[in-house]
């Protein structure tokens, strides 16, 4: 009999997804922990199951070594940085991953961040809570130059959401999307060209060794004075210490992050700044996105593929600076 374990807390808390999964498999174990499991507690939960749905859990060599019966992992969500893909391949564990399943939700949050930063919502909200009625002068998003780093699923969705605003759109990506760019008036540029030209820089790339820390002190220094930075992708993409310095000096007009280097903690130095807007990794946390991600994960239990050339998860990791 097939035994399925759901390690993802978000999936396990969703009653609709629980019912759909239980309707397809007779033997299902759900994580009931309030915290993301790792190490031995995660092994203890997953042991004895041949298929698993995982979210933010770290699946590495040590975990896999304790799960010899595990044959399939299906990813709830799109981030792959928690999965040791070479280790999965060595252990013969098939992987199911569906890219872009939450792209609309993340793109909407990104658009909201952009408008909030330009209209100086973080600063005025902090002041209002302190009893100060500050009517600071902001800027319209309409007509601004937006620099999109990574024009994959979310980047493309964002381009289309920005259409009514008449923005100049710049994109930096390792892939050639010339047909999409031509159809939507996007200018392909290098990173060095994008940073000083954009009023808003937004990140939409996966986290791997080629992108980790890709926005550091040098890149922030190249950004236009008063520009804003948005990161709703992965926390490790931005050097948070350098971002704190750029915001504290007033060189950057603002920054918004839905992701942080040390989740589930947010950098206290960032959170303390009035020009910073932070949210606790809610980019995929809408009812619609959770159902879409959950149903993709359920389907993946039967559709998982061996990790090898052409696997969509490996193709997603091909970003390089």
- Write the CB contacts of 184 (distance below 8 Å, at least 6 apart in sequence): 159, 160, 163, 169
CB atoms within 10 A of CB 281: 19
**What sign does the dihedral 125-270-153-72 (CA atoms) show?**
negative
Q: Where are the alpha helices (DSSP H) in the chain?
A: 9-13, 15-24, 39-46, 61-65, 85-90, 103-118, 121-129, 153-161, 178-184, 191-197, 217-222, 240-248, 268-271, 287-303, 312-316
The tokens for 124 are 């005025």
The tokens for 76 are 């709830």
CB atoms within 10 A of CB 35: 9
Q: Which residues are catalytic?
A: 234, 263, 281
Burial of 68 (0-12, 13-18, 19+ CB in 10 A): exposed
**What sign does the dihedral 137-159-256-203 (CA atoms) show?**
negative
Element (H, E) at 56: none
């Amino acid at each position: 009999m097939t035994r399925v374990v759901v390690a993802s807390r978000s999936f396990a808390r969703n009653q609709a997804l629980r019912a759909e999964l239980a309707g397809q498999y007779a033997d299902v174990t759900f994580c009931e922990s309030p915290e993301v499991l790792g190490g031995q507690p995660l092994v203890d939960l997953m042991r004895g199951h041949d298929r698993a749905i995982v979210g933010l859990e770290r699946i590495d060599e040590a975990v896999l070594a304790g799960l010899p019966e595990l044959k399939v992992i299906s990813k709830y969500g799109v981030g792959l940085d928690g999965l040791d893909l070479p280790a999965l391949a060595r252990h013969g564990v098939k992987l199911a991953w569906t890219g872009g399943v939450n792209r609309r939700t993340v793109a909407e949050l990104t658009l909201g961040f952009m408008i909030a930063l330009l209209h100086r919502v973080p600063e005025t909200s902090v002041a209002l809570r302190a009893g100060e009625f500050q009517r600071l002068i902001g800027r319209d998003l309409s007509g601004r130059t937006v620099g999109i780093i990574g024009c994959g699923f979310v980047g493309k969705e964002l381009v289309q959401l920005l259409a009514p605003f008449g923005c100049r759109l710049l994109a930096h990506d390792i892939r050639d999307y010339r047909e999409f760019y031509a159809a939507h008036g996007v200018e392909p540029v290098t990173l060095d060209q994008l940073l000083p030209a954009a009023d808003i820089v937004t990140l939409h790339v996966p986290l791997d060794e080629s992108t980790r820390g890709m926005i550091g002190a040098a890149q922030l220094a190249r950004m236009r004075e008063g520009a804003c930075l948005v990161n709703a992708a992965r926390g490790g993409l931005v050097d948070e210490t350098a971002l704190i310095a750029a915001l504290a000096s007033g060189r950057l007009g603002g920054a918004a992050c839905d992701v942080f280097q040390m989740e589930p903690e947010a950098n206290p130095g960032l959170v303390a700044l009035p020009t910073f807007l932070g949210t606790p990794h809610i980019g995929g946390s809408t009812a619609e996105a959770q159902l879409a991600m959950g149903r993709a994960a359920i389907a993946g239990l039967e559709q998982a593929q061996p990790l090898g050339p052409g696997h969509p998860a490996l193709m997603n990791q091909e970003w390089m600076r």
